[in-house]
Chain A
Amino acid sequence: MPPLTRPSQVAVTPLAAELLKQLGGEHGPLMFHQSGGCCDGSAPMCYPAGELLVSPETDRLLGELEVTGLDPIPVWMSRSQYAYWSHTHLTIDVVPGRGSGFSLESPTGLRFLTRSRLLTDEESAALNR
């Protein structure tokens, strides 16, 4: 029998987790939505939970980030975009930088960044079956 739960397709670096703790303290429960397109596109956008309306019809839940002391943080992506990302695993990192739409971290002088790796065959089989 394959495992009943999907492996997570997302992870978070320790530095990004620290920033999430700070943002969670200021804004309460959080969510991510992976953006596409120009300027600040291809950046993960961090919002107060529920700020961006998502639905299973239009978006895919990639997984939830576990950060000590915070509610699980769901990471979403539009389904159309997922069609091109389905073979990769995403890690939310943070770098010095400025601005990313209405993402909560921009005033801190830091910015979330998505780092990617290819899924292993086992992960891919479990996630995209």
Chain B
Amino acid sequence: MTVYQPPGRPGSIVGYHPRYEHWIGGTWTPPVRGRYFENPTPVTGQPFTEIARGTAEDIEAALDAAHAAAPAWGRTAPADRAGLLLRIADRMEQHLEELAVAESWENGKPVRETLAADLPLAVDHLRYFAGALRAQEGGLSQLDEDTVAYHFHEPLGVVGQIIPWNFPLLMAVWKLAPALAAGNTVVLKPAEQTPASIMLLMELIADLVPPGVINVVNGFGVEAGKPLAASSRIRKISFTGETTTGRLIMQYASGNLIPVSLELGGKSPNLFFADVADRRDDFYDKALEGFAMFALNQGEVCTCPSRALIQSSIYDGFLGDGLDRVRAMRQGNPLDTETMVGAQAGNDQLEKILSYIDIGQAEGAKVLAGGERVDLGGELSGGYYVAPTVFEGTNDMRIFQEEIFGPVVAVTRFEDFEDGIGIANDTLYGLGAGIWSRDGSTAYRAGRAIQAGRVWTNCYHHYPAHAAFGGYKNSGIGRENHKALLEHYQQTKNLLVSYSGRAQGFF
């Protein structure tokens, strides 16, 4: 085991600067209005750096830089664009441990997750889109003997991206990699809860990226995110967040007639069919881990399997074993590699989760585990820790219908296949789902019947590149994480060419 020192302390492998400006046009650019905001770590609740508080003026400056860089970047050979992604990936890999510790400190997530998932996935994602770009082909259709339709991919130009705080580096890379590969320049607005780790990354790759190709403006949603989303100078807006802001962004986009990509969360069902418990073997152990996955990243994942649906005939035994697995979770200092559950990202998240624990109990749900804030003592007393919580109730309760974004799972039973699918689909959302069965036919039929964009089958919370990710229903529009995304960041240019030497004959 390793316990990392907090960034900036003696013995730490990484440090943050006391202040970060915007990253615009390849230089550190102070905010036009000269204001900054403090960035606290949820590990202790104490500020560790301050961040430029961007406004519309800074967004305009970033858009100027992005527009200046766009023509040349769009003409850059695909091999060279792919080369940039590969060099960024290599640089991140060389500094993986530092970035993992820095992100853990900023977000509160356990370093074992940033080391094993967030950063390796980000590195691989860059390499995937480098490869996808190299392999992308346009089209050629012969319409008749003398007429040919050529289809070219052209960049959109300048795109806006607003990213969430739950995976600050991975979500940035999820959006940046396809946009850059496709030949666009970007203005990125990080979440105000996690504005610093992305700046650490920009500093690390500053010498690799042509000025203006990536521009990062920090600030609050209403002051910096809105002017970006509403700007008439972007050709696409991509957003990960929640439904009301998603609607607002679509509304702004409608004014500018530009496409949107929205990833808006979910209330993902995790179905355990009775045959899971046929034997107490490795598969059963794997399924129990699947049940416990609600606590990954403290539940701050859009696809958190926050509704566990267990078939009646195995309900008591499976739930009992699941609770044992939950009680065995180690909560503690996020910088300790043995820690499985760290801190919630902020005080308001903590308060929201506690308010849901209240309404859950008021609605008659039973707390089977957790259900309270945790004080870890010492310096960590100021941090935002919630015990992994298991509720038992019914699917009409609000804790079964709303995304709590905490380490909280709501458990209920189902009788048969139809009942299970019915409960699974009785939700506004459709981002993720889990199916657990030893029977391939059951798993297949259930996976096809569930209205969700990603159905993990006998697994959960894998996010490999080359597996499309995105939502049905209120969970959003568009997909990420797949080569198809290149075309979402490109125009289709059709050259319709006649090789005939004769007039058409109309005039």
Complex Cα distance A113/B351, Å? 8
Q: Beyond A99-B192, A106-B220, A107-B220, is A42–B363 a contact (Cβ under 8 Å)? A: no
- Which single member of B348, B349, B359 contacts A116 (CB below 8 Å)? B359
* A-B contact sample (6 more), CB < 8 A, given A37-B241, A39-B191: A35-B242, A38-B164, A39-B240, A41-B242, A99-B348, A101-B245
Complex Cα distance A44/B225, Å? 18
Interface presence of A78 (CB below 8 A): yes
Contact B474 A102 (CB under 8 A): no
Question: Which residue of B has the minimal Cβ distance to A107?
Answer: B220
Interface of chain A: mostly helix, strand, loop or mixed = mixed
Contact B221 A36 (CB under 8 A): no
Interface presence of A66 (CB below 8 A): no
Contact B405 A102 (CB under 8 A): no
Cβ of A47: which chain B residues have Cβ within 8 Å of it?
248
Contact B221 A38 (CB under 8 A): no
Complex Cα distance A52/B348, Å? 23
Contact A96 B401 (CB under 8 A): no
Give A96 Cβ to nearest chain B Cβ, in Å: 5
30 contacts between A and B (CB under 8 A): A35-B244, A36-B242, A36-B474, A37-B264, A37-B265, A37-B302, A37-B429, A38-B166, A38-B403, A41-B243, A41-B265, A42-B242, A51-B248, A52-B247, A84-B402, A96-B348, A97-B348, A98-B193, A98-B348, A99-B192, A101-B221, A101-B241, A102-B221, A102-B229, A104-B222, A106-B192, A106-B222, A107-B53, A107-B222, A118-B363
Contact B248 A113 (CB under 8 A): no
Interface presence of B373 (CB below 8 A): no
Give B248 Cβ to nearest chain A Cβ, in Å: 5
Complex Cα distance A117/B359, Å? 6
Q: Beyond A38-B302, A95-B348, A118-B363, is A102–B403 a contact (Cβ under 8 Å)? A: no
Interface presence of B428 (CB below 8 A): yes
Interface presence of A12 (CB below 8 A): no
Complex Cα distance A34/B302, Å? 18
Complex Cα distance A47/B221, Å? 12
Interface presence of B347 (CB below 8 A): yes
Contact B352 A113 (CB under 8 A): yes
Contact A42 B348 (CB under 8 A): no
Q: When each residue 156-174 of chain B gets 1 if its CB lies under 8 Å from chain A and 0 otherwise, what string results?
A: 0000000011100000000
Complex Cα distance A33/B229, Å? 19
Give B118 Cβ to nearest chain A Cβ, in Å: 16
Complex Cα distance A88/B266, Å? 21
Q: Which residues of B307-355 have CB atoms within 8 Å of chain A's CB atoms? A: 346-349, 351-352, 355
Complex Cα distance A113/B352, Å? 7
Q: Beyond A113-B351, A116-B355, is A40–B222 a contact (Cβ under 8 Å)? A: no
Interface presence of B223 (CB below 8 A): yes
Complex Cα distance A85/B400, Å? 11
Interface presence of B246 (CB below 8 A): yes
Interface presence of B136 (CB below 8 A): no
Interface presence of A80 (CB below 8 A): yes
Interface presence of A103 (CB below 8 A): yes
Give B349 Cβ to nearest chain A Cβ, in Å: 8
Complex Cα distance A36/B404, Å? 9
Give A85 Cβ to nearest chain B Cβ, in Å: 7
Complex Cα distance A30/B74, Å? 43
- Which single member of A34, A42, A78, A106 contacts B403 (CB below 8 Å)? A42
